Amino acid sequence: MLKTRIILILSAAAMVAVLFSLPKVVVDNATENESIGASAEEESHEGHNHAPGEGHGEGQSAFVHGLEISEEDQGKINKFRNKIDFSSFNEKSLIFADSLAILFGKYSKYDSVARYSGLIAKNAPNEEHNERAGLDYYQAFSFATDRARAQYLGQECATLLQPILTAHPDRLDLKTKIAMTVIAGKSPMEGILMLRSVVEEDPENVEALYNLGMFSRETGQMDKAETRLKKLVEVDSLHIQGRLLYAITLIDLGKKSAAKEQLELLKKLDENEQFQMAVDNYLKNIE
């Protein structure tokens, strides 16, 4: 969890707080259900010699996010790209693709990380490569700024992770992520039901509780949101996003005393000056 993301949320209006950590995709016709929000961090369209699916193709657009790539690393990126043989994609090409994924990860270029780990999974498919690529696509999906892009990245993620989940049905971490991609697609209610099934199987699943709590908020089901988020902070007392969302939900429900208690607990979780000031601002507004 990035401190800057928390600070930005805390210093904004309360409703803005639901718009981070998840893909920015509106979910239609759901019940507990909900839209997915996130801060937009996007990737730059880096030069030329793109891998298949890179750049503006396949529903993708130019992106700008993350840290600025150093001149030295940009040189490495250009070198590795030029050495990849996309026609045969031999062992050396796999090594170069891996190096590119690592380099782009250094600068939070999530789309490119997924692109190159995806190339590895496509050309050398195995469970390890598929899971790595699926999780990388999920990371990129989580920062998508429009519905079409989120659906594209989410579908790539689900395609890679679903066979692993089928082989290992106890992997609730993968089921939760696949559920989020389904919510962003054409069957949002199916994804919601998947999240609910995760909580039924594991009532203390932090990721599923957080997502369901956030979704309940966005459809105005504050009582449900309170229940989900209260359980979340009981399970994981250090979950800053969950405690923040829980505090804001309590404020919206008019439970000022309980909200104050949560905000004061939040202050103990991070000594960052801006974070402290932002929480203090909320405390002043509810007194």
Q: At 124, give phi and psi (nearest 5°).
A: -140, 65
Identify which of 38, 33, 42, 58 has the alpha carbon closest to the alpha carbon of residue 179: 33
> DSSP letter at 58?
T
Give the side-chain half-sphere CA count within 13 A for 208: 23
Residue 253's SS3 state is coil
pLDDT per position as a tens digit, 5-18 = 444 444 443 333 33
Identify which of 89, 149, 142, 148 has the alpha carbon closest to the alpha carbon of residue 120: 89
Q: Is this model's pTM higher than 0.85 or not?
A: no
Kindly report the average pLDDT of the chain as a whole number: 81
Is residue 45 scored above 60 in pLDDT? no
Please give the Cα distance from 237 to 239 (Å, whole number).
6
Q: Answer for the pair 103, 76: CB distance below 8 angstroms, yes or no.
A: yes
- pLDDT confidence band for 66 (50 / 70 / 90): low
pLDDT at 59: 29
Q: Answer for the pair 213, 69: CB distance below 8 angstroms, yes or no.
A: no
Helix axes 240-252, 256-267, angle to 10 degrees: 160
Task: Write out the two tokens for 192.
Answer: 């919601």
